[in-house]
Amino acid sequence: MDVIHGFKTIFPIPLALSSTWDVSLIEQSARIAASEASSAGIAWTFSPMVDIARDARWGRIAEGAGEDPFLGSKVATAMVKGYQGDNLQNENTIMACVKHFALYGAAEAGRDYNTVDMSRLSMYQDFFPPYKATIEAGVGSAMTSFNVVDGIPATGNHWLLTDLLRDQWKFDGFVVTDYTAINEMTAHGLGDLQTVSALALKAGVDMDMVGEGFLTTLKKSLAEGKVTNEEIDLACRRVLEAKYKLGLFDDPYRYINTARMEKEILSETNQNAARKIAASSVVLLKNDKQILPLKKSGTIALIGPLADSKAEMLGTWAMGGDAEKVVSLLDGLKNVGGSSVKILHAKGAEFTDDPYLLKNMQSPLSPSTSNNGANVTKSNDELILDAVYIAAQADVVVAAIGEPAAWSGEAASRTDISIPETQKNLLKALKATGKPVVVVIFSGRPLTLVWEDSNFDAILEAWHGGTQAGNAVADILFGDTNPSGKLTATFPRSVGQIPIYYNHKNTGRPASPNNKFSSKYIDSPNEPLYPFGYGLSYSTFEYGEISLNKSNLKGEETLTVTVSSKKTLENTKVRKWFKCIFPIR
């Protein structure tokens, strides 16, 4: 099973996990996932996905750590350590699989399975580091990507799978294809199934996932001299070595332990961890007029299609998750607010009325309960009337909007990453009531939120937060937890800015308001709406002078950067100076 961000205890989607910027929490999430999954008989997972992604249209941006290779490398290492532990012989570990090797996050036009074309410089500097980090961390397996690398499909690319992965990086695990990737090389014009299967084996592929090209053609290719016994033996050896490393030859049933299942799966300890990690991933995008945190008194109107959703909180690639075990935001507000807070609830709107999107309200990758509109009993106008009625009775409105789980992840690319009109109309109606409105966005990707940012004073990016999403977001809304999440993927103003990322190269003609012939748009600022690293809290900070321990570095010397900061807690007005030290190599 693909244990991507949890087995039964579901953690936030990987993009959200990276927004914690806390590799210890990320490693803990993978450790819990491995412990739960291994008790149920799972010894291997297709995770972590470490593809650098700079295009929010790509649905699988949800599965990675965003746009930065340095942070992505740290997250990738933490995931491998969490899954595999210190010794794969331990029964509570599982083998990790780095994917997708390589460059899959750079698919043109943000369209899944699409082509990739880039320079070697970009490969090595911007996209390869997270893959290499997992190799150095001892990852047990690697998965090929669907795209081409230097014009050759990754699954049949000898330079990629042998010269680079094994000879340069010294990878000693085994290579598995992605789902039917060998077969799909035929569409690239590389020959029939027998031909591409031989090509994949000779390139360095050890296991053929599902396509059965190895199973049905290698015997014939061997007889015809197109592959050798040694090549087949080497692939078999690498797969058998993985089983040996996992201890499966000593005990093939070691990864089935019903006693451990009953003790560990969805345990209170795991739920507490999931709640903490989910809260740490929430990003406060805006808090003008200090609407947040909410008071634990009075009346709150919770409105929106994601207000009482359980399954959608699980996000993409959460097939092991149980929607009935999920805490919705409605449940979370009641749990955290307590008896002194009155919670009113209305759906307010359907996710969309767009016929294209309605066809994609279900996904095999998530246990989603979203319907395609067939069971709708009220029109959107009627739903908005209900919402306005209860908003009028409340002191503050919390609007829970965004994407259902099926709108991000694999095969879920979007050309328009704005909030759909049905939900935007709901927001317009809520704004018209004059009540303070807190917008809580659940999504699997960065969205274009220029209108929302211009019209509302408080906005939270809550992602798809997993089993404990509702409690975690409520902890943030009521101030029990100070928001600390920071964006790891840039939020553009519009899709016309994509690809957009913080560490881009300079131009010789930077944007200038006084020079028409400079690098800028005529209908939009160059700057994103919310940049990489952005995220507010309920505290304010003042920064002192930056100092360096040296001005010149040689070889492997370390540069230490020191900055003083003053933090003010808004609720207490307590100020405290502290010093931050950053060692940089």
Coil, helix or strand at residue 286: strand
Shared-domain flag, residues 207 and 349: no
Shared-domain flag, residues 322 and 373: yes
Shared-domain flag, residues 307 and 415: yes
Residue 23 located in a structural domain: no
Q: Give tens-digit pLDDT for 150-183.
A: 999 999 999 999 999 999 999 999 999 999 999 9
Range of the structural domain that residue 112 is part of: 107-118+133-245
Shared-domain flag, residues 198 and 276: no
Shared-domain flag, residues 411 and 368: yes
Q: How confident is the model at residue 471 (pLDDT cuts 50, 70, 90)?
A: very high
380 versus 584: the higher-pLDDT residue is 380
Residue 468 located in a structural domain: yes
> Where is the domain boundary, 195, 211, 245?
245
Percentage above 70 pLDDT, the chain: 95
CATH of residue 300: 3.40.50.1700
Q: Give tens-digit pLDDT for 501-522.
A: 999 999 999 999 999 999 999 9
What pTM does this model have? 0.94
Shared-domain flag, residues 217 and 275: no
Shared-domain flag, residues 323 and 224: no
pLDDT (mean) for 560-578: 66
pLDDT at 573: 43
Residue 191 located in a structural domain: yes
Shared-domain flag, residues 332 and 429: yes
> Where is the domain boundary, 180, 211, 245?
245
- Evaluate if residue 445 carries a pLDDT over 60: yes
CATH of residue 228: 3.20.20.300
Shared-domain flag, residues 286 and 385: yes
Q: Give tens-digit pLDDT for 178-199.
A: 999 999 999 999 999 999 999 9
Cα angle for residues 88, 90, 91 (degrees, 5° grid) = 110
**Catalytic residue (choose from 22, 178, 206, 475):** 178
Residue 60 located in a structural domain: no
Residue 30 located in a structural domain: no
Shared-domain flag, residues 312 and 222: no
pLDDT (mean) for 334-343: 97
- Evaluate if residue 364 carries a pLDDT over 80: no
- SS3 assignment for 156-200: HCHHHHHHHHHHHCCCCCEEECCCCHHHHHHHHCCCCHHHHHHHH
Does residue 178 carry a catalytic annotation?
Answer: yes
Shared-domain flag, residues 210 and 146: yes
Residue 345 located in a structural domain: yes
- Evaluate if residue 533 carries a pLDDT over 60: yes
Please give the mean pLDDT across all residues of the chain.
94
> Where is the domain boundary, 487, 515, 547?
487
pLDDT at 580: 53
Q: Give tens-digit pLDDT for 71-129.
A: 999 999 999 999 999 999 999 999 999 999 999 999 999 999 999 999 999 999 999 99
Percentage above 90 pLDDT, the chain: 88
pLDDT at 376: 63
pLDDT at 531: 97
The structural domain count of the chain equals 3
299: β partners: 342
pLDDT at 568: 74
Lowest mean pLDDT among 26-30, 101-105, 255-259: 255-259
pLDDT at 529: 98
Residue 201 located in a structural domain: yes
- Evaluate if residue 574 carries a pLDDT over 80: no
What is the spatial distance between Cα 541 and Cα 253, in angstroms, rounded to a whole number? 54
pLDDT at 570: 58
Shared-domain flag, residues 479 and 378: yes
pLDDT (mean) for 481-492: 98
The DSSP string of 509-563 is S---TT-SSSS--SSS-SS-SB-TT--B-SEEEEEEEEEES-S---TT--EEEEE
pLDDT (mean) for 439-457: 98
10: β partners: 6
What are the phi and psi torsion angles at 219 (to 5°)? -60, -45
Q: How confident is the model at residue 569 (pLDDT cuts 50, 70, 90)?
A: low
pLDDT (mean) for 213-220: 98
Residue 50 located in a structural domain: no
